[in-house]
Structure 1
Amino acid sequence: MSGPLVGIKVLDLSRVLAGPYCTMTLGDLGADVIKVESPGGSDDTRHWGPPFQNNVSAYYLCANRNKRAITVNLKSEKGRQIIKDLAKQSDVLIHNFKYGTMEKWGLDYDSLKSINPGLIYCGITGFGKTGPYKHLPGYDFVIQAMSGLMSITGTEESGPMKVGVAISDVLTGMNAVIGILAALNERNQSGLGQSIDLALFDSQVSALVNAASNYLVSGKVPKRLGNEHPNIVPYQTFKTKDREMAIAVGNDGQFKRMCSAMGLDSLPSDERFLTNEKRLENRKVLTSILSDAFQQENASHWQSLLNQAGVPCGPINDMKAVFDEEQIQARNMLVEVDHPEAGKVSLVGSPIHYSRTPVSVRKHPPMVGEHTEEVLKELGLKEYEINSLKAEKVI
């Protein structure tokens, strides 16, 4: 087995996307991840669809590979004891229950650190453990709305729009990975674990980056610009003769090379377009000139010319076009895994490419409770004890 996290044990009590995305990433990196659900399955994404592949949800498949799955009734004392026994042997525990739930069950950080002082305990909630919103539930869509992201997404005509994927969940999952890896590194020095308090709301607000900074510096509330950029021109989509494409001119040199490639040699010396600041002031005029020019040829023509000139550009791909891209194949960003119920499943590969300890897809996204007996036997339970727990509906 390869991967930089081989030997790290992760107890995953999360569901839906933010937590599972985090633990899938840890699993991709080699960690042994145990996914915990209630008997019968409690990860809502197992039922989100269509599409399904042989009754297995595509949504569930996207964030759950490289895990083992067990079922445990956390509302029972015996079930909670199983979690405590697993936590005692784990390096990391992650959950996304609402504020107060883990405390009610006696599975909060203070309770578990007494039996495992080295435990890294990551709790993901909508709004964190402090502040007036700490008791509120948080779904990605609501977070996109409240964080200001929707206010700057779309056009003035369209009104506020959400991003095409649950980006607040994905960002929070990535922040969870960062927080966990840093805490594991610190534990190498101190020998102690710690708790990590992660909120979807915080993660999304932190990701507003330049949009937030523009407001904090100027005091001006940003408007929706559609595919245009608030700070750079030209940095947007343009219609060509056959389709739209994206143009991203980030500096004056690129602007000059773009104009030269397009036969618009007079533009860079035009007083209105000499600098990016000038181009921002005269956005409408410049955009009109470029729009007329781009519509004279097909997108492939412009892409070839601009690529040769070193100007960032690209087609607007749909999903089929994305996974038909040669670059996707070359980077192993499309992988396949055999699933006992769904059959051969196609998954998006990991974007992390190590030179010595490569990421690998070792396990299919597990079925409900697929590894319950295996994991409990590793805890030392006998067959008759496992059967008794089944009869009592603890597992």
Structure 2
Amino acid sequence: MGPLDGIKVIELGQLIAGPYCGQVMADFGAEVIKIEPPGAGDPMRQWGRTDRDGDPVWFSVIARGKRSVTLNLRDPDGQQVLRDLVRDADVLIENFRPGTMERWGLGYDALSAINPRLIMARVSGYGQDGPYSKRAGFASVCEAAGGLRYISGYPDRPPVRVGLSLGDTMAGFNAAMGILLALQHRHATGRGQVVDSAIFEAVLGYTESMVAEYDAGGHIRERFGSALPGIAPSNAYAAADGREVIIGANGDGVFARLCEVMGRPELARDDRFADHQARGRNQQVLDVLVGEWTRTVPAQEIVDRLAEAGVPVGLAYTAADMLEDAHFEARQSVVRVPDPKRGTLAMQNVFPRLSDSPGAVRALGPELGADTDDVLSRRLGYDTDRIAGLRERGVI
């Protein structure tokens, strides 16, 4: 039994941000009914790299543990089905452009009149109000608005992106956290509310002291490549075998241990590197010295020696490295989920871990509409003729 067992969630989201919120809820035990357009379904069913037979696999991850119901929300009958579903729901997740739900007569005012306990999580690029609220907001542009893109990459090149839709996932996680906070508030008041999770604000929330530094001192943080300005040594360094090793030895004691392993204990006493501020001022020189050493030692040997000495170190892992790593295996950080097509499918486990009521991956993403009849008959009490009529008219 997960900590959200008994919580009923309706997911209207598509692509990444809203569905990732639903993934988190399902991972921790909520019943998540994913509403998809009849015929095509969520575009995520076609996104991402394919398996060896040419079938995409991303949907299997982001829709894991959910149920799929097809429903045309542009049709008045489909809108009525959703209203019926809302009557006993705890949460509704949507990530349409702001105003879309209202045009369909499905805004929060309308739905909360049906169910005052309903929590509505609304995920969008720029939030539900403000001058930019109606703009389309994919993660790429919202990461830029939130400040992440400007500081990502090298100073002599255009900004780069992380190889993930990071803003979408961050906004989805923010929405999940907001739902949990709203559930706690509902325990005390009996009332639901709106959770407004904007992608640009999800990114902005992770920018540490960047705004305050500008406000207080006029400092604009710039791109600095694979390190952070003034934090040294903390970078990616090439090893003798061509692999890259990440070393973070910017604390005084840790730096001294690194110097011992390098065979250069005198560097810890050098005035240029004697403390945090000094190492920051001489960051480039220090990175050169560390890099000269790492290029003489194979990557795994660097990791083994530094880890033994208590210096933070690691390789830049690929998915292949993760599947072969003993620590990942011991903690079951990656799990294999039964898959009728492939036997099993490996994917990341559920995080964070709870000692008494942990989450779990219960099943892969469902086939389109796999649960439509069951949900409409068992949960809403629709008879077979009514369901058949809805299907004939293209509502489900």
With the shorter chain as reference, the TM-score category is over 0.9
Measured after TM superposition, the shift of residue 212 of structure 1 is 4.1
| 1:318 alignment partner in structure 2 | 318
Measured after TM superposition, the shift of residue 346 of structure 1 is 2.3
**Worse-matched range after superposition: 142-151 or 232-241:** 142-151
Q: Which amino acid aligns with 1:14?
A: G
| 2:181 alignment partner in structure 1 | 182
1:107-118 mapped onto 2 (5 Å cutoff) = 107-118=106-117
- Where has structure 1 moved over 6 Å in runs of 4 or more? none
| 1:365 alignment partner in structure 2 | 365
CA pair 54-367 structure 1, distance change in 2 beyond 3 A = farther
SS state of the match for residue 350, structure 2?
coil
Q: Does 1:69 align with 2:68?
A: yes
**Identity over aligned residues, as a percent?**
36
Q: Are the equivalent residues in 2 in contact too, given 1:56–1:341 (CA < 8 A)?
A: no
SS state of the match for residue 394, structure 2?
coil
What runs of 5+ residues in structure 2 fail to find an aligned partner?
A: none
CA pair 53-14 structure 1, distance change in 2 beyond 3 A = farther
| 1:258 alignment partner in structure 2 | 258
Q: Are the equivalent residues in 2 in contact too, given 1:46–1:57 (CA < 8 A)?
A: yes
Measured after TM superposition, the shift of residue 79 of structure 1 is 0.5
Q: Distance in 2 between matches of 1:312 and 1:49?
A: 33
Q: Distance in 2 between matches of 1:342 and 1:388?
A: 36
Q: TM-score, normalised by structure 1?
A: 0.96
Q: Are the equivalent residues in 2 in contact too, given 1:249–1:255 (CA < 8 A)?
A: yes
Q: Which amino acid aligns with 1:365?
A: G
Measured after TM superposition, the shift of residue 228 of structure 1 is 0.9
Q: Are the equivalent residues in 2 in contact too, given 1:53–1:342 (CA < 8 A)?
A: no
Structural RMSD (CA): 1.6
Q: Deviations over 1:80-119 (max 9, x none)?
A: 0110111111000010011110001111111111111111
Q: TM-score, normalised by structure 2?
A: 0.95
Q: Are the equivalent residues in 1 in contact too, given 2:231–2:283 (CA < 8 A)?
A: no
The number of aligned residues is 394
| 1:249 alignment partner in structure 2 | 249
Q: Are the equivalent residues in 1 in contact too, given 2:33–2:66 (CA < 8 A)?
A: yes
Measured after TM superposition, the shift of residue 355 of structure 1 is 1.6
1:42-53 mapped onto 2 (5 Å cutoff) = 42-52=41-51
Q: Are the equivalent residues in 2 in contact too, given 1:156–1:225 (CA < 8 A)?
A: yes
Measured after TM superposition, the shift of residue 156 of structure 1 is 2.0
1:380-391 mapped onto 2 (5 Å cutoff) = 380-391=381-392
CA pair 226-182 structure 1, distance change in 2 beyond 3 A = same
Measured after TM superposition, the shift of residue 146 of structure 1 is 2.7
Q: Which amino acid aligns with 1:76?
A: D
Q: Does 1:275 align with 2:275?
A: yes
**Worse-matched range after superposition: 314-323 or 13-22:** 314-323
Q: Which amino acid aligns with 1:314?
A: G
What runs of 5+ residues in structure 1 fail to find an aligned partner?
A: none
| 1:302 alignment partner in structure 2 | 302
Q: Deviations over 1:267-291 (max 9, x none)?
A: 1111111111111111122122222
1:178-217 mapped onto 2 (5 Å cutoff) = 178-217=177-216
Q: Distance in 2 between matches of 1:227 and 1:22?
A: 30
| 2:8 alignment partner in structure 1 | 9
SS state of the match for residue 51, structure 1?
coil
**Worse-matched range after superposition: 36-45 or 179-188:** 36-45
Q: Are the equivalent residues in 2 in contact too, given 1:232–1:249 (CA < 8 A)?
A: no
**Worse-matched range after superposition: 40-49 or 195-204:** 40-49
